[in-house]
Structure 1
Amino acid sequence: MATDQEIRDILAGVTTATLTTILLKKGLRNVWLRGAMPLKPGQGRIIGRAFTLRFVPAREDLATPESWSSPKSTRAAIEAMPDGCIAVVDAMGITDAGIFGDILCARMKKKNVAALVTDGVVRDLDGVLGTELPVWCAGASAPPSVAGLTFVDWNEPVGCGGVAVFPNDVIVVDNDGAVVIPAALIDEILELAPDQERLESWIMQQVNEGMALPGLYPANAENKARYEEWKKRQGV
């Protein structure tokens, strides 16, 4: 079983686009979290284990400012986040109530949370950007979470962006968004991903040299053999 450091090292060179292709071949079509896009350019590719948080629709007796002091609150959830995790927040795609603002994001940054991923939105946008916590979300909104959401629990299965995410699944985020790799499949994906990325780089090289796409992408038997010969010459 790969260590978390090995997972990060290997997947650092693999795009989320490539991962969706590999997971599709394994029968998993629904792995890209809708609505979770980079809050700002240049956040890079980040890999980490999922630490999940779940909201439900606001209910007036529960979604109150007083709830922020409850033992079961976003504040308490943040204190439970382990070093290097990616916080995955199920906000049901609601975009008119910000799940976290600058203070909560600043605390996550201090706790060395790798990134925040949500199908919802953040608030205090300038302040959130100032924390330098990498965020993938659906934008920003001024109202607080309790204006549209009730926080219910953390580290349980959630549906974020229409995708099932379980605690400790592996999350990969880059400029194309966020992808989940089920924890049980990670070792298999680690074996397949680098060669898929290498193959697609080789195909791009062939395209740049003027080769036509039929038989190249996807590669037929002849081009697969050419690719294998190229790998031998590269010492791969």
Structure 2
Amino acid sequence: MTAEPLALDDRLIQSLQRASTATVTTVLLKKGLRNVWLRGAQPLALGQPRLVGRAFTLRFVPAREDLATPASWASPISTRAAIEAMPRGCIAVVGALGVTDAGIFGDILCARMKKRGVAALVTDGVVRDVAGVLGTGLPVWCQGTAAAPSVAGLTFVGWQEPIGCGGVAVFPNDVVVIDQDGAVLIPAALAAEVADASVEQERLEEWIMGQVAEGAALPGLYPPNDENKARYEAWALKETPGRPKFP
């Protein structure tokens, strides 16, 4: 059964766009979540923006010769049909089993995703027609490129169901943050809490960077001891009156 796509609150998007994936992974680590980094999902091009969106999942399984054929592209269960179900602003997260010799999407499919307002494509697999994919303007995070089509190594089986991508369990409507470091997953139920903590962590690190620039030593500063926490609080209250106190 496929899950209905959900919209993501604009406040959450704005908050998480202020936080790097490095910060988000640190916040999640403090909450006990270690396996949230999508291995192999690296930016296809330099300069891609930091993006935040709900995961729209697609799932491949290993190729089976009677199913993984060019004829399957016209099936009701196909990547083409899945793209037509993608809502504006989602991030397409594709579980491709880490296969690197069969491109899951090419320029035409990426062009259609861009036209539909999909924010980005994230996969532990690869894409094909790389010049054309880059030309569509769709931001892509993947393991690289391969000329062969998906059916050379994979069978597409569905969308908006739990998948594995880069060794991470991804459920439909989880939140994904992507930047030049890669892709990190935030469980949907924790999104608001993680967003607030990530903004505060970024603010703290801004202050720490200022201290380092002035010559401060790291012990007792990063992470801050009680004395430096107090100094940070005084600074932060001036910068952002009414903000929650740093834990």
Instruction: Give distance in 2, aligned partners of 1:92 and 1:26.
Output: 27
Q: Residue 171 of structure 1 corresponds to which residue in structure 2?
A: 176
Instruction: Give distance in 2, aligned partners of 1:234 and 1:104.
Output: 46
Q: Does 1:96 align with 2:101?
A: yes
1:83-129 per-position Cα deviation (integer Å, ceiling 9, x unaligned)? 11000000011000000000000000000000000000000000000
Structural mapping, 1:165-204, within 5 Å: 165-204=170-209
Q: Residue 124 of structure 2 corresponds to which residue in structure 1?
A: 119
Match of 1:70 among 63, 72, 75: 75
Match of 2:27 among 22, 35, 41: 22
Q: Does 1:6 align with 2:34?
A: no
Report % sequence identity: 73
Residue 119 of structure 1 aligns with an amino acid whose one-letter code is: D
Instruction: Give distance in 2, aligned partners of 1:111 and 1:93.
Output: 26
Give the drift of 1:138: 0.4
Instruction: Give distance in 1, aligned partners of 2:200 and 2:21.
Output: 14
Instruction: Give distance in 2, aligned partners of 1:127 and 1:190.
Output: 35
Q: Tell me the TM-score normalized by structure 2.
A: 0.93
Give the CA RMSD over aligned residues: 1.0
Instruction: Give distance in 1, aligned partners of 2:240 and 2:27.
Output: 24
Q: Residue 159 of structure 1 corresponds to which residue in structure 2?
A: 164
Is contact 2:54-2:175 (8 Å) kept? Answer: yes
1:172-198 per-position Cα deviation (integer Å, ceiling 9, x unaligned)? 000010011000101211221111110
What SS class does the counterpart of residue 128 from structure 1 fall into?
A: helix
Residue 206 of structure 2 aligns with an amino acid whose one-letter code is: S
Instruction: Give distance in 1, aligned partners of 2:107 and 2:47.
Output: 19
Query: Any stretches of 5+ residues in structure 2 without a counterpart?
Result: 1-6, 242-247
Q: Residue 149 of structure 1 corresponds to which residue in structure 2?
A: 154
Query: What is the aligned residue count?
Result: 235
Instruction: Give distance in 2, aligned partners of 1:3 and 1:143.
Output: 35
